[in-house]
Amino acid sequence: MKTFLKYCLQHITPVLLMLAGVNAVKGQSPAFVHVPAGEYRVGKKDYPMNPLRTVHTNGFDIAATELTNTDFEKFVQATGYITDAERLKNALVFEPGLREFRWLEDSTAYWRYPNGISRGDITSKMNHPVTCISYRDAIAYCQWAGVRLPTLDEWEIASRAGASTTYFWGDDLSQISTYANVWHGRDHLNADSSDQYMYTAPVASFKPNPWGLYDIYGNIFEFCEGRVSTDEKNSRVVHARGGSWWCSKNSCSFFNSVDIGRVKRGASFSNLGLRVVKKQ
């Protein structure tokens, strides 16, 4: 019994305490996890884009889940907002059979049809993360909802949940299927639904990290704010983290706490969305 109580105090109580700060913000209903102020280790040795270092935070509240289609629809209904993918008709989508790293530009794709009209809409996927939105769209949502994107360091601190390893559970990739919706196939020539989902999954379908954050390493890449040392001067690229349903160990294995992705700020992908942070 003592052993069980010790486990609860060490592993369950911190999560409950962090979730105790749950609050709703405008048009949005996710729970928030409070990350306390303090010093945290981020990065990895010999990673030029994300070197090992200690950073300080004054504390922040980050959404436990990625922003859903339901959340984004409230924004569109309230404002009449038109996304970049609708205006520019340049969204990039995927279908099985494509060679590695090849995507299709689909003029019909946008957040309501994240893989193009021919591949269906989101009617039965309102609890899935919103995708096919650009960085500009993500910022527009945040301004309306009174929230913001996490910084690169905040995202990493939250994803690590106190760990210093590549994944919050250690350095062994084999546990990824427990915590993340990723691509398990050898390549992308054939559909992979071995974890029940080929594209996105409903948020919180997989186990959370020890601090109560879901889908950190999978489902969709998440926009973050900030620059990295390898960014060119005056570069307009933005960054996203966390891996996605498309990512596999043989291509774009960014489903970890170290790697940082780059994307043009006007680009819209069907594996890219956001997680928000409360404004102080």
Tens-digit pLDDT profile for residues 220-265: 999 999 999 889 988 999 999 999 999 999 998 999 999 999 999 9
Burial group, residue 24, by CB count within 10 angstroms (0-12, 13-18, 19+): exposed
Number of H helices, E strands in the chain: 7, 12
Question: Would you say 247 and 218 are in contact if contact means Cβ atoms under 8 Å apart?
Answer: yes
53 DSSP assignment: E
Burial group, residue 68, by CB count within 10 angstroms (0-12, 13-18, 19+): buried
Give residue 92's pLDDT.
97
What single-letter amino acid sits at 218? G
Tens-digit pLDDT profile for residues 148-189: 999 999 999 999 999 999 999 999 999 999 999 999 999 999
Give residue 279's pLDDT.
94
pLDDT, average across residues 6-24: 36
Separation CA 23–CA 44 (nearest Å): 34
pLDDT, average across residues 180-201: 96
Give residue 22's pLDDT.
35
How does residue 14 score in pLDDT terms, banded at 50, 70 and 90? Answer: very low
Tens-digit pLDDT profile for residues 56-93: 999 999 999 999 999 999 999 999 999 999 999 999 99
pTM to 2 decimal places: 0.89
Give residue 40's pLDDT.
98
Q: What does pLDDT average to over the chain?
A: 90
How does residue 4 score in pLDDT terms, banded at 50, 70 and 90? Answer: very low
Confidence check: pLDDT of 124 > 50: yes
Of 26 and 244, the structure prediction assigns the larger pLDDT to: 244
